[in-house]
Amino acid sequence: MLVVLITGCSSGFGELTAIEFAKTGARVFASMRNPSAISDRLLTLADENPLFEVIPLDVCDRISVDAAVQHVLNQVGRIDVLINNAGIVLTDFVDDMPEDHFRQIMETNFFGPLLLTKAVLPTMVKQKFGVIVMLSSLSAMLGLSSDAAYSASKAALEKLAECLYCEHQKDGIQLKVIRPGAFNTALAANSIKNMVNQNGLVIELDVTKQPSFSSGDAPLFVAKEIVEIVKNKSPILFYSLGKQAQDIEIKVDETKQQERHLLLNEMCG
């Protein structure tokens, strides 16, 4: 039975991935910054499934990160899978976006996964087994107008994953980078609201600079794929999910990614 810790489960990919792992019989710890924001689906699942638990976890707070990891270890003594899903997005032109917004995005999308990964690594190294999943984006491959902060945070996350891939192959730890394309989630709206609530920031949105998330593939596809990728023992590091991400990868970086993977294996071997 896999023990799975997932961040950002109040909605979107995190919520759906938690549900899909629960269907496999895994011991699931679905975490979120504000557990009072739990969806009805997760509330019902937590009531009915003794192997499913919702816990508080703010990825930007080291005390919260350490407490969540220790709670899981106290309950079951191991962590097999970490899904670094929690993230925020806020779009604006570089010269218009306040520095505080850049820092908040980096804190959540890069330093959050870094803190949590460092917190679980000692356990995974001791176990000689573990899977760490980083939710990235096609924005890490292609920086577009008004997307600088988000693109930079996801590109940094991918480089972190590459380094971890090399450093911990000998320990039986797998790294998986998931690059979803356009999927119909509420990420943008939720992230903006969370930033206001957390930091007291007043954000005036220019709708001409905001991307549309109303179209795209169904997010359940990503959740199901993540479960399959975790179960698969393939050494592949990058996974582009959805038509948009795959099209971009083919046009921009397919050959380079294959060459990079071969080079990584050669240099890490």
The vertex-60 CA angle with 56 and 63, nearest 5°, equals: 60
Side by side, which strands form the sheet with 238-241? 52-56, 27-32, 3-6, 81-84, 130-135, 173-180, 238-241
> Residue 222: what residue type?
V
d(CA 103, CA 37): 24
Alpha helices, H only, 109-242: 112-127, 148-168, 187-199, 220-231
**Residue 150: what are its φ and ψ, rounded to 5°?**
-65, -45
Nearest by Cα to 155 from 119, 117, 109: 109
CA angle 7, 10, 12 (to 5 degrees): 90
Q: Helix 220-231 and helix 12-23: axis angle, to 10°? A: 50
Point out the residues that are catalytic: 150
Asked whether 30 and 42 are in contact (CB, 8 A), the reply is: yes
Q: Is 255 helix (H, G, I), strand (E, B) or coil?
A: helix
Quick check: 164 and 175 in contact, CB under 8 A? yes
For residues 21 and 85, the answer to whether their CB atoms sit within 8 Å is no
